[in-house]
Amino acid sequence: MPIATPEVYNEMLDRAKAGKFAYPAINVTSSQTLHAALRGFAEAESDGIVQISTGGAEFLGGQYSKDMVTGAVALAEYASIVAAKYPVNVALHTDHCPKGKLDGYVRPLLAASEERVARGENPLFQSHMWDGSAETLADNLSIAQELLPRAAAAKIILEVEITPTGGEEDGVTHEINDELYTTVDDALRTAEALGLGEQGRYLLAASFGNVHGVYKPGNVVLRPELLKDLQEGVGAKYGKQSPFDFVFHGGSGSSEEEIATALENGVVKMNIDTDTQYAFTRPVAAHMFQNYDGVLKVDGEVGDKKAYDPRAWGKVAEASMAERVRTACDHLRSTGTKLK
C-alpha cells in the first residue's frame, strides 16, 4: 500500500482511540532501518508510523552537509516508493524538534507540504512534532498556535509536547524530577490555546514520568493513570469524553501493564527508538565477534569478503529490528488491526 493519505491517517488514529490500541512510532535513520520498521509492521499485520528526528534527518542527509531537510525529504520520497510493496498503511512523522531547530526543520518541511497540497498532492509528512518542552508553557503554546493552522491547512497533524520528558533526545535534556508529570491545569491551558480539534487536529505528548533512553526498573516512576485525570479534567469542562489523543514518549523499558494502562487512557501513538536501536545493533556486534578473522584482515591475511560485506550483517540487523517492531505491535494491541 502507499504511504497513508491524510484521510487514512486520521482514520488510523480514530480506530486506535476507539479500539484502545496504539501504533508503534519507529524512529529510523537509514533505508535499512526503514525497511526493518516496514517489515515488522507487515509481519504483524499492523499499520504503523515511521518517524525521523532532527538528529536522524541530519544523519540521513549525509555527513558532508548534515542537512536535516535534505535527509527528511529523502526519507519521505524513498519511503513513498518502497512502502508500496508492503501490505500495510504507514504514516510519516517528524520527531522532536525544539525551538532552535524549527527554522531549519519543521517550518521548511511545512512549506514543502503547503506547495504540494496547493498542487493537489498529499503532504510530504502526515504529522510533525513541535517539542516546546524546554520552553515555558505560555511560549510553548504560543508557537503551537502559530504552527497548528499551517499544519491543518496542509492536511498535517501537529504533535505537541507540553511538559518535559526526562532524559536526553537529540540534545534536548531534562532532569528526572517531579516536573515530569503533566497537571490538569497544564492540559486545560492547552485546550484553551489549541482547542480540541476545531482549530486543527493535534496529538498531545503529556508527561507521566516518561524518560528517554535506557533506564533500569525502579529508576523511573511511571504513572499512566494520570492520563485519565487529564482526560476527565478537560472533558468535564468542555463536555467531551476523552478529548485528547495522547502520545507515549520515553517508552523503552516500560512494562506491559504500564503500556496497557496508557492505552486504556487514550494513547494512540507510542515512540520506540532505544529498544529498536539495540535490536538493530546487537546482531551486528555478534557477527563481528563471531567472524573476527573474516571481517578484519588479521596477520596479513585477506579476510573473508562474505563476512565483511555490509549485506551480511545488514540482513540480520534488519530481521532483529523487525522482530522488535512485531513485539511492539503485540504490546500496543495493534497486531492484526491493519486497514483493509
Catalytic residues: 95
Q: Are 56 and 306 in contact (CB under 8 A)?
A: no
Output the CA–CA distances (angstroms, integers) from residue 234 to 17, 167, 207, 334, in the order listed. 17, 28, 16, 27
Q: Where are the extended beta strands (E) located within 132-258?
A: 157-161, 167-169, 172-174, 202-205, 246-248
Q: Are 48 and 7 in contact (CB under 8 A)?
A: no
Residue 142 C-alpha cell reads as 504560543
Q: How far apart are CA 47 and CA 83, in angstroms?
A: 11
Please, which residues have CB within 8 angstroms of residue 6's CB and are 6 or more apart in sequence? 122, 123, 126, 155, 156
Output the CA–CA distances (angstroms, integers) from residue 104 to 54, 114, 148, 204, 296, in the order listed. 9, 16, 18, 23, 40
* Cα dihedral across residues 143, 147, 149, 152: positive or negative: negative
124-133 CB burial, b ≥16 within 10 A, e <16: bbbbbbbbbb
Q: How far apart are CA 317 and CA 276, in angstroms?
A: 10
- Residue appearing with cell numbers 512485531: 326
Q: How far apart are CA 266 and CA 17, in angstroms?
A: 6
- Residue appearing with cell numbers 596479513: 300
